[in-house]
Structure 1
Amino acid sequence: MNELFEQHIKHFPHMIKYCFFEVRYHYKQYLIVLGALLLLLLITFGQLLIRDTIDVQRTTSFFKLVGFFAYFWIFFALFHSEKTVRKQGSLYNRLSVPYYVGTSAQVFLMMIIFLIAMTITGLVSTSMTEVIEINHLGFFYYLVMTYVLLVPLASIIGVLGKYFYKTRYIVFGALIFLILLVPILYVPNNMYAVWVNILRLNPLFYVINGFQQTMILGSAASTNLPYHILFYFEIALIYLLWVNVNRAHKTELFDDN
C-alpha cells in the first residue's frame, strides 16, 4: 500500500500534465458537463423564485441539488476512468506511466468542475435564504475524503475495464442504481433511523451526505464519530483491494481479451 502512495505522489506531475492534455483535446466534453450543472442550478433557482417558496422548501431543494452535484462528480469520474484505461492503456505503457495517472486525472478534473458548481451554488443559496450555513473547513474535509475514495475505485474499475469488456455496462448500471442509495431523491431526516443506518454502510453515502450537511447545515456534519470511523475502515478495505488488483495487473494474472 505504501508503494501505491509513493508512486501516486511521484507521478502527480504527470497527472497534472495529463489533465492539461485532457482539457486541451476534450474541452467541449468538460464544458458540456459544467454547463449541465449550471443549467440545473438555474432551473432550481428559477422554480424556487416562481413558486415563492419558504425557507424550508428552499433549503430542501438546495440540499438535494448539492447531493446531485456530488453524485455527478462520482458518476463521470468512475465511468470515464474505465474508458480512459481501456482506450489509452498502450499510451501509459509507452510513457512508462502507471495506469492510475489517467484515472486520477479524471477524478481531479471532475473535482474542479464540482468546485466551480458548488461555489456558485453556495453564493446563490445563501442569497436566497438566511437559514443555510456553510462550513468551509468541513467542505474541504469531504472534498479530500471524496478524492481519497474515488482514486482507488476509479483505478480498480479502470483495470477491470481493460480486461473485461462488460465492465462498462456493470459500472454504468451500478452508478445509475446508486442514485437510489444516496440522499438525492430523499432527505435522510424524513426516513426511519434503521434505514438510514443501513444506507450509511455505503461510503458514497458518507461523502455525498457530508457535502450536503456542510453546505446546508454547517458544523452538524462532524458530530457522528462512529460514522467517520466506519468510513475510514471501508477506505482501508478498498485500498487493500486496490493493492491486490494492482499486483495482479503487474504480474499479468488477467487474460488479455
Structure 2
Amino acid sequence: MIDELINFYKTIPNLWELSKARIAKQWRWFALPAAVALVLLILLVIVTKAAGVTDITAARWYYRLTGLTTFIFFWTGVRHAYYYFKQDVVVMKMFKMSPYFHVALISVIYAVLMWVVNLIILLTTPVNIDSSVFGTILYSVMSLPLMFVVASILGLLAVLYRRTRILFYSLVILSFLLVPILYIPSHTGSVWTHLIMLNPVCYLVKGSAEANVIGLTSVSNIAYHLYECLLIAIGFVVIYALNRYVAYQKFEVTPHSDEFDDGNSKNKTVKAKVKNKKATTGEYSGNQESREEKVGQSQEVNTSTEDKSTSTQEADKTVREQTKLGVETSKYQ
C-alpha cells in the first residue's frame, strides 16, 4: 500500500498532463450540460415574467429546474468519467499509473460547474424566495465523492462485462423516477417521500433544490447526511473489492505468487520423487523377476545335465558288463 502511494505521488505530474490534454479535447462534455441548464433558466425567467405567475408557483418551477440541473450534471459526469475508464485501466497498468486520477478530476470539474450553475439559478430566483449559498456549496461538494464512486464502479464493471451501458441507462431512468422533479411530494412525512430518499441521487437533487428555494432548512437533516456518507463509504469498499477482482480475473494475477510457486515446486518435487520411486520399484521388481527366471533356467540346465550324466554312467556300466561277459566266454572256448 505504501509503495502504491509513493508511486502515485511520483506519477502525479504525468497524470496531470495527460488529464489536461484529454479534458481540452473533451470540452463539449462540460459545455453541453451547462448550456442546457442556462437555456432552461432563460426560458423559465421569460415565461414567469411574461405570465406573471405567483412566487409560490415560480418557486416550484425553480425547484424543478435546480433539481433537473443537478441531475443532468451528476449523470453526465458519471458517463464522462467511466466512458474511458476501461481504456485507462489497460494503459495505466502498463505504466504503473492510477486510472482513478482522471475520474477524480472529472468529478471535481462537474461539481464546480454544478455549483456555478445552481448559484446562477439562485441569483435569478424571486426576492421572496429564501435561498442558501452554503447549502448549494454543501451539496455540490457532496456530489463529488458520490460521482467518483458511481463512475468507478461502473468503470470496473465495464472492464468485466460488455453491456454496462444498459445498466447505466437503467440507473438513469430509475433514479429519475425516484427524484422530486416531475412529482414534488406535498408532505415531507409521506411514504413516497421516504421511499425516494433512499435513492442517493435524491439526496443531491432534493438538497440542491431546497437550498435554492427553502434556504438553510435544506441542511438541517443530519441523519440524511450521515446516511449519504455511509453509502459513499460502502461504495469505496465496493471499489476496493472490485479493483482486486478485476486484477485477478481480467489480467490473471495470482495472489501471493511466490508462496504459490514454492508450493507448486514442492508438489512437483514430491511428485517427481514418487514417480522415481515407482520407476525404481518397477525396475527392481523387473530385475528380480529376470533373476528368478535365470535361476530357474540354470536349475533346469543343471537338472538336465545331471540326467545326462546319470544316463551316461548307466551306459558305461552296461558296456563294461557286456565286455566282461565277452571276455569270460572267450576263456571257456
TM range (shorter): 0.7 to 0.9
CA distance in 1, matches of 2:225, 2:4: 23
With normalisation by structure 2, the TM-score equals 0.67
* Separation in structure 2 between the aligned mates of residue 202 and residue 31 of structure 1, nearest angstrom: 27
Task: Say yes or no: does 1:132 pair with 2:129.
Answer: yes
Q: Which of 176, 180, 187 is 1:179 aligned to? A: 176
* Structure 1 Cα separation of the partners of residues 225 and 137 of structure 2: 15
Deviation of 1:95 (Å):
3.8
Indicate the SS of the match to 1:173: helix
1:158 matched to 2:140? The reply is: no
2:202 matches 1:205: yes
Does the aligned pair in 2 maintain the 1:84–1:102 contact within 8 Å?
Answer: no
Mark the runs of 5 or more structure 1 residues left unpaired by the alignment.
none
Q: Does 1:82 align with 2:82?
A: yes
CA displacement 1:185-208 (0-9 Å, x = unmatched)? 122335761111111111111122
**Cα displacement (A) at 1:2:** 11
Bigger mean CA offset, 234-243 vs 85-94: 85-94
Q: Deviations over 1:201-241 (max 9, x none)?
A: 11111122111111211110122232223222222222221
Identical pairs, percent? 20
Q: CA deviation at 1:251?
A: 3.0
2:146 alignment counterpart? 149
Asked if the contact 1:67/1:184 (under 8 Å) is kept, the reply is yes
After TM superposition, list the pairs within 5 Å mapping 1:101-116 onto structure 2.
101-116=101-116
Rounded to whole Å, the distance in 2 between the matches of 1:146 and 1:28 is: 21
1:72 Cα deviation from its structure 2 partner:
0.8
Q: Which has the higher contact order (CA 8 A, sep 6+)?
A: 1
Q: Is the 8 A contact 1:59 1:216 kept in 2?
A: yes
How far apart, in 2, do the equivalents of 1:9 and 1:142 lie?
29
Whether the 8 Å contact between 1:18 and 1:105 is mirrored in structure 2 is no
Alignment of 1:9-20 (within 5 A): 17-20=17-20
1:34-53 mapped onto 2 (5 Å cutoff): 34-53=34-53
> Contact 1:11 / 1:97 at 8 angstroms: preserved in 2?
yes
Match of 1:196 in 2: 193
Task: Note the C-alpha offset of 1:167.
Answer: 0.4
Alignment match, 1:238: 235
Task: Say which is worse superposed, 179-188 or 104-113, in terms of deviation.
Answer: 104-113
Residue in structure 2 matching 1:215, options 212, 216, 227: 212
Is contact 2:107-2:144 (8 Å) kept? Answer: yes
For 1:63, give the aligned amino acid: Y
Contact kept, 8 Å, 2:67 with 2:209, in 1: the verdict is yes
Q: Give the number of aligned pairs.
A: 252
Structure 2 residue runs of 5 or longer lacking an equivalent are 253-333
Amino acid at match of 1:245: L
Summarize the Cα distance change of 1:7–1:118 in structure 2 as closer, same or farther, 3 Å threshold. farther
Q: Which has the larger radius of gyration?
A: 2
Distance 1:12 1:42 in 2: 40
- CA-based RMSD of the aligned residues comes to 2.9
Tell me the residue number matched to 2:225: 228
- Relative distance call for 1:158 and 1:234 in structure 2 (3 A) is same
